[in-house]
Structure 1
Amino acid sequence: MRKLTLLSALVLASAAAAQGNNLSGTVTVWSWDVAAKALQSTVPSFNKKYPNVKVNVVDLGNQNTYDRGLAGCAAGGADLPDVYSIENNEAEVFWARFPDCFTDLNTLGADKLVRNFPAFKWTELTANGKRYAMPWDSGPVVMFYRRDLYQQAGVNPNTINTWDDFIAAGKKVNAKFGNGVKMATISNGQDDEWFRMLANQNGCFYFDNDAKQVTVARPGCVTALGTIKRMNDAGVLATGDWGGQITNIKAGKTAGALFGAWYEGTVRTNAPDQKGKWGVYPMPASRAGGVRAANLGGSALAIPSSSKNKAAAFAFIQHALGTPEGQVTMLKSQGLVPSLLAATRDPYVAQPQAYWGNQRIWQTVLGTLGDVPQARGTQYFQDARQVMIVVQSDFLKGRYKTAQDALNDAARKISSATGLPVAR
């Protein structure tokens, strides 16, 4: 198996080398935030192989990339780039609504790279026998924390094993800093990422993995929403949108952040003066001995059918995502966690990271991957997410008596929006 994988990689590499001087033109890439910066970091090594191809990475912002992608597909591919960044949990929206908008990458050679990635990473990228995008990064969830603030408050991260432990630690932080520092920031009213992370660790999501039922009112999701309410009521969380969370980190108003591991680059690049003050530990479990892992995010790269330079676009994707060189470059520059199996075995993964107090953080991060429960976004991800944003906010404001009541209402609304039945 391994020999076949290496052989296929060598064949593609040889073919790429032969093409290197033949490919030319401009490849325009749409992406966002650290993802765009990460892709930009692979351009110099790509241009050593393909000196006549100019890569133009455009940072449109996350939501704008998604919205313009939908608009472009609805317009028959008008004004779309050569390479399009897409989050895994939103990918099926495109495949379902616009099956002809993107290129089947199998026609360009992606079928020869299948075994180089974990099987689960292809699930949401494949439809009707077509492979519409190549896996990029994954988002194993961890708790990023300020070592110095924890220490000042007398909190030992090694003793935080459950969310109850986390709440207890938060009360110590509140007492030490007069409520001026919180344990983390939740984007309540703006997003439901905390709910998705905690639901995932409890084996629950909006929908079942067959995309046939609404499962958001099941016990694992009830536990997740109830836990968030307990943290909110205990006063250990700050509230803020994406920009507000970064502002809190830079100002030292939060002692940590719960996110997918790709957030490492966000912390490091936005707070360079805090080098050595940060660390990482696995997300707390809902109960003693419970799962301390989840996934948030993870993206892929696709080629719109309207691209006029597909060969060069695929060459760039193959270099950035299909080689350890490209993937580890992005891990180093922006903290994007590789999906490419060979990249996760790179020696860099085992190295101490100076910004993170010389902790071997990538071993901690990648060590959780095997425990992440499976979840599927489906084509209805955004419909469900918009419902849950409102329901979560209303629940934290006391507008529902229990988490079960809140999620029963969410399930009915999601069912109404999608046409899928509520699981019994």
Structure 2
Amino acid sequence: MKKAWSLLSLILVFILAMTGCSGQSADEASGVASKKGKTLTVWAWNTNVPVLKQAEKIYAKDHKGFKLKIQEISNNDMYPKLTTSLQGGGQGLPDIVLIEDTHIQGYLHNFPKAFVNLSKKGFDKEGEKFPSYKRELASRDGNMYGMPFDGGPAGVFYRTDYFKKAGINPDSIETWDDFIAAGKTLKQKTGIKFLSLDMNSDDPVYRLMLNQQGSFYFGDDNKPALASKESQTAMKMLKKLKDEGVASNVTGWDAWLSGVASGKVATAVSGSWMAGLIEQQAPKDKGKWGVFPLPAFEKGGNRAANIGGSAWTIPTASKNQDSAYDFLKFFSTTNKIQEIATKGGLFPTLNTVYTSPLFTEADDYFNNQKIWQIFANETKEIKAANYTGNYAIAKDEAVKAQSEILTSGKNIPTALKAAEKRLENRLSTKE
């Protein structure tokens, strides 16, 4: 018996010694992290918190003692906090951080060793469960650094009662020109505005138009592409929407959302996440809303684009990397969890959930349409946007150019070339 206890003691000492050397906790060093209960810290914002709490309860049924310590941080406050922690060598970082797709590549570029390579943890076995654009957005040099979560496949949300009154069949709207013609008809017959845009301080529809053309602020060579053919095509269409009286200007997100929810405008070109906002903001309008696919630039053209989305990352500073990965694998590849996320207004990019009743059955709020199926079908056609690490700076210049073109009447090629030049200058001084 004494020999047995001595042997056991030596094993424990060895494990503790290895743990001290590797920076891992004892249960991870012994290979039983996924079987034992642990407390993991998480940084995430508003709509994601309820889903995390539900996932925690379900996961804990097979992982006794498992807990999540969730710190709710707005996505605007997240990045200064995350950047400061990374610059400080990872001090104060949690085990799991949610990062928007628009920002992931920037962090992978500026802090190449700051996040765990999920491919080495076994992610590649799960890869085909997610659309290619989501995998591309969270990868670097062929390796995954973010567990794909929600996405924002785009579409047109519209008031079915207004369309019916104007005699417009949404199925007849295949192109942006069709969209403009419908807008003019609806305004003429109902007096209601067709579309509102924040022309001076945000550019979501411009970004969608770039994405559906397979382009973005930057080209494949990572050089600024604000003056590209695709960019000019998108801006010309935006100007046409305004000049034809279809799009009206509005200031700020709150005013834009209020106009949509109150029925002052007939349509909203947005991501799938808009469904939850409309239902929340306008509960009395049940049955009065519908969805149709994003218009193409030409008949038969691409009608798929994405706006929004995020992925879960594990900082290398975490001492619970195996436990964090095991939980994220469960969270991101379990249909039940993704169904909970969908009901909370987040669109899942896990393709196995698309056959669940939630996606195949009609939604009574949206005029008994299968709206989630529309968005699910779109994910296969979405192309990854090249956000790079300079997304925020490029967006700033794109919005300035949009404002000059739509509200000041500046020539499109001239404004976009000037914006591209300004962006190049800002990037050169940044380096």
Q: Per-residue deviation at 1:20?
A: 8.5
| Structure 1 residues 64 and 244: alpha-carbon distance in aligned structure 2, compared to 1, 3 A threshold | farther
Q: Provide, for residues 165-196 of structure 1, a one-character-per-residue CA deviation record: whole Å limited to 9, x for no partner.
A: 22222233333454xx4323323332221111
CA distance in 2, matches of 1:53, 1:187: 45
Shift of 1:334: 2.5
The aligned residue for residue 171 of structure 1 is: 184
Structure 2: distance between partners of 1:19 and 1:267: 45
How far is 1:381 from its partner?
A: 1.5
Counterpart in 2 of 1:343?
353
Please state whether the residue corresponding to 1:84 is helix, strand or coil.
strand
Give the whole-Å Cα distance in 2 for the aligned partners of 1:349 and 1:29: 29
CA deviation profile, 1:106-130 (whole Å, cap 9, x unmatched): 3443243233333432223222564
Alignment match, 1:65: 78
Residue 142 of structure 1 deviates from its aligned partner by 0.7
Contact 1:139–1:297 (Cα < 8 Å) also in 2: yes
Match of 1:233 among 230, 233, 243: 243
Residue in structure 2 matched with residue 413 of structure 1 by the alignment: 422
**Matching residue's letter, 2:332:** L
Which residue of the other structure, out of 234, 238, 241, is the alignment partner of 1:224? Answer: 234
2:4 is matched with: none
Amino acid at match of 1:318: K
TM-score, normalization by structure 2: 0.84
- Cα offset for 1:262? 2.6
Judge conservation of contact 1:93–1:378 (CA < 8 Å) in 2. yes
2:162 aligned residue (121, 131, 149): 149
Percent same amino acid at aligned positions?
33
Deviation at 1:25, TM superposition (A): 4.0
Residue of structure 1 equivalent to 2:406: 396
Distance 1:268 1:221, change over 3 A: same
Counterpart residue number, 2:129: 116
Change in Cα spacing, 1:24 to 1:188, as seen in structure 2 (3 Å) is: farther
Query: SS where residue 47 of structure 2 aligns?
Result: helix
d(CA) in 2 for partners of 1:39, 1:255: 35
Q: CA deviation at 1:198?
A: 0.8
Q: AA paired with 1:242? A: W
Shift of 1:135: 1.0
Deviations 1:312-346 (A, max 9, x none): 43233112212222223212x12433322322333
Structure-2 residue corresponding to 1:367: 377
Any conservation in 2 of the 1:137–1:299 contact (CA below 8 Å)?
Answer: yes
| 2:290 is equivalent to residue 286 of structure 1 | no
Query: How far off is 1:91 after superposition?
Result: 0.6
| CA shift digits 1:368-417 (9 cap, x unpaired) | 2333344321112122111111111121122522x222221222122223
Identify if the C-alpha distance between structure 1 residues 191 and 40 changes in structure 2 by more than 3 Å, giving closer, same or farther. farther
1:279 partner SS: strand
State the SS of the aligned residue for 1:342: helix
User: Gapped runs of 5+ residues in structure 1?
Assistant: 1-14
**Does the 8 Å CA contact 2:134/2:148 hold for their aligned counterparts?**
yes
CA distance 1:148–1:37, change in 2 (3 Å): farther
The one-letter amino acid of 2:243's match is: D
Contact 1:190 / 1:241 at 8 angstroms: preserved in 2? yes
Return closer, same or farther for 1:267/1:299 CA change in 2, 3 Å cut-off. same
Task: Pick closer, same or farther for the CA change 1:83–1:243 going to 2, 3 Å.
Answer: farther
Alignment correspondent of 2:7: none
Which one has a bigger Cα radius of gyration?
2
- Is residue 103–residue 302 contact of structure 1 (8 Å, CA) maintained in 2? yes
- 2:105 alignment partner, one of 74, 92, 96: 92
Distance change in 2, residues 1:53/1:376 (3 Å): same
Q: How far 1:347 moved relative to its partner?
A: 4.0
Query: Where does 1:297-308 land on structure 2 (aligned, <5 Å)?
Result: 297-308=308-319
**Aligned with 2:386 (options 376, 396, 421):** 376
1:204-235: per-residue Cα shift (whole Å, max 9, x none)?
Answer: 21112342x32222222111111111212333
- 1:198 aligns with 209
The alpha-carbon deviation at position 257 of structure 1 amounts to 1.4
**Regions of 4+ moved over 4 Å:** 18-22
Q: Name the CA shift for 1:184/1:44 in 2 (closer, same or farther; >3 Å).
A: farther
TM-score, normalisation: structure 1: 0.85
Is the Cα–Cα contact under 8 Å of residues 262 and 282 in structure 2 kept in the other structure? no
- 2: distance between equivalents of 1:254 and 1:32? 29
Shift of 1:143: 0.7
- In 2, Cα distance between the equivalents of 1:416 and 1:177? 48
Whether the aligned pair in 2 keeps the contact of 1:262 and 1:334 (CA below 8 Å) is: no
Give 1:10's aligned residue: none
Q: How does 1:22-41 map to 2 (within 5 A)?
A: 22-41=35-54
Amino acid at match of 2:235: L
How many Å separate the matches in 1 of 2:265 and 2:366?
16
